[in-house]
C-alpha cells in the first residue's frame, strides 16, 4: 500500500513557520495585510474566502474583506483595486474567482499591482516564473512542490507528467517541476495515448477536473501520484481526479482528497503574503 502524503500536516507545519516569521516582523514594527475581494455570494467562494480569513487570523496576518454585491460593475472593481494598489498598509490583493460574467477576469487580474499579486496570476508573475526570475507563484502548484520536497521526494532528473494545462494549475506546475530539474511532459484533453504517456511518470500530477478519472491504468508501479482535483461524489463526499483505492495499490506515494493538495493552497497564499512585504520593501 502506498505511503500517504499528508497535506494537512505539512500545511500546518508551514503555517506555524509563517506564524513565527510574522511575530518576528511584528516585533520590528512590520505588519502584513491581505485584502480579499469577493464579488457576489457564490457559496463555494464564500467558503474559500472564509478559510483564507481564518488562516490569516491564525498566522497573525491582517485581513481586509471586501464583500461586493453581484451587480458591482467592472469599473467599480477596477477602482477598488487601484485604491488598494496605492495603499501602503495593504501588502497583498486577492480577487476571489470566478467573477460574475459581466466582469472580465483577465482585465481584473492585470489591474493588480505585480508586487501585490499574491495569487501569482498576473501576466508579469507568470512571465517571471517562465524565465526563472523570483516572483509570486500560483499557490496550488507551489504547494505541490512543497509537498514533494517536505516528503523527501526527489524531483531532479525524474519523469514528471502533468495532466491538465490550465493557467492556474497545469502550466505553472509544469514550469515549477522544470525549475526543479524534472523532465516534464504536459498532457491535456487532446493528448493521444494518454494512459501510455501518464505511465511514463515517476511523478504524476492529475489536474484534470474529472472525478476519479485516473485509475491504475495510468500509473507506473512505484510512481508518486499527486491529486489536485476536488469534487463531490454521488454521496456528497469529497473525491479527487484520482481513483484513490485503485491507484494506491500500485503507486509508492499518493495525496488523499481531502487532506492532500487542498490545504497547501492556503498555506502558500499565506507564504506569498509574507513574501510580498519583502518585495515591497525593495
> Containing H/E element for 267?
helix 262-281
Of residues 140, 146, 255, 271, which one binds ligand NAD by CB under 6 A? 140
Per-residue cell: 89 = 498598509
Catalytic residue among 52, 158, 171, 212: 52
Catalytic residue among 119, 202, 227, 241: 119
CA 257 from chain center: how many Å? 15
61-71 per-residue burial string, b: 16 or more CB within 10 A, e: under 16: bbbbebebeee
Q: Are strands 159-163 and 183-187 parallel, antiparallel or unpaired?
A: parallel
Q: Does 166 bind ligand NAD (CB under 6 A)?
A: yes
Q: Count of CB atoms within 10 A of residue 223's CB? A: 25
Q: Does 209 bind ligand NAD (CB under 6 A)?
A: yes
Q: Does 150 bind ligand NAD (CB under 6 A)?
A: no
Query: What is the distance between the alpha carbons of residues 266 and 55, in angstroms, rounded to a whole number?
Result: 7
Q: Does 18 bind ligand NAD (CB under 6 A)?
A: no
Q: Give least dist CB 16 to ligand NAD, A.
A: 20
Query: What is the distance between the alpha carbons of residues 12 and 14, in angstroms, rounded to a whole number?
Result: 5
Q: Does 194 bind ligand NAD (CB under 6 A)?
A: yes
Of residues 32, 169, 267, 277, which one binds ligand NAD by CB under 6 A? 169
Query: What is the distance between the alpha carbons of residues 1 and 109, in angstroms, rounded to a whole number?
Result: 43
| Residue pair 260/5 in contact by the 8 Å Cβ criterion | yes
What mask, x for binding ligand NAD by CB under 6 A, covers residues 219 to 238? ---------xxx--------
Closer CB to ligand NAD, 5 or 80, in the complex: 5
Closer CB to ligand NAD, 115 or 227, in the complex: 227
Catalytic residue among 96, 115, 241, 243: 96
Which residues within the stretch 263-282 sit at the binding site for ligand NAD (CB under 6 A)?
A: 265
Q: Does 138 bind ligand NAD (CB under 6 A)?
A: no
Query: What is the distance between the alpha carbons of residues 202 and 155, in angstroms, rounded to a whole number?
Result: 9
- Which residues are tagged catalytic? 52, 96, 119
Q: Which residues bind ligand NAD (CB under 6 A)?
A: 140, 163-166, 168-170, 188-189, 191, 194, 207-210, 228-230, 261-262, 265
Amino acid at each position: 500500500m502506498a505511503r500517504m502524503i499528508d497535506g494537512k500536516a505539512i500545511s500546518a507545519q508551514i503555517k506555524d513557520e509563517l506564524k513565527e516569521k510574522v511575530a518576528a516582523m511584528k516585533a520590528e514594527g512590520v505588519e502584513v495585510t491581505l485584502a480579499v475581494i469577493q464579488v457576489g455570494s457564490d457559496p463555494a467562494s464564500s467558503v474559500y474566502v472564509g478559510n483564507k480569513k481564518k488562516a490569516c487570523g491564525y498566522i497573525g496576518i491582517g485581513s481586509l474583506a471586501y464583500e461586493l454585491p453581484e451587480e458591482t460593475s467592472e469599473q467599480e472593481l477596477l477602482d477598488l483595486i487601484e485604491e488598494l494598489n496605492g495603499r501602503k498598509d495593504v501588502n497583498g490583493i486577492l480577487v476571489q474567482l470566478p467573477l460574475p460574467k459581466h466582469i472580465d477576469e483577465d482585465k481584473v487580474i492585470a489591474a493588480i499591482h505585480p508586487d501585490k499579486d499574491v495569487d501569482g496570476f498576473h501576466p508579469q508573475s507568470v512571465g517571471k516564473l517562465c524565465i526563472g526570475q523570483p516572483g509570486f507563484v500560483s499557490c496550488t502548484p507551489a504547494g505541490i512542490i512543497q509537498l514533494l520536497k517536505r516528503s523527501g521526494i526527489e524531483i531532479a532528473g525524474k519523469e514528471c507528467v502533468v495532466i491538465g494545462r490550465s493557467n492556474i494549475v497545469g502550466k505553472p506546475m509544469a514550469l515549477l517541476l522544470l525549475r526543479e530539474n524534472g523532465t516534464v511532459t504536459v498532457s491535456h484533453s487532446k493528448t493521444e495515448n494518454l494512459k501510455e504517456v501518464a505511465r511514463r511518470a515517476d511523478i504524476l500530477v492529475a489536474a484534470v477536473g474529472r472525478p476519479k478519472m485516473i485509475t491504475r491504468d495510468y500509473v507506473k508501479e512505484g510512481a508518486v501520484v499527486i491529486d489536485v482535483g476536488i469534487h463531490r461524489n454521488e454521496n456528497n463526499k469529497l473525491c479527487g481526479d484520482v481513483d484513490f483505492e485503485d491507484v494506491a495499490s500500485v503507486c509508492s506515494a499518493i495525496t488523499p482528497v481531502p487532506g492532500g493538495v487542498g490545504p497547501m493552497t492556503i498555506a502558500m497564499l499565506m507564504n506569498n503574503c509574507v513574501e510580498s512585504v519583502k518585495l515591497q520593501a525593495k
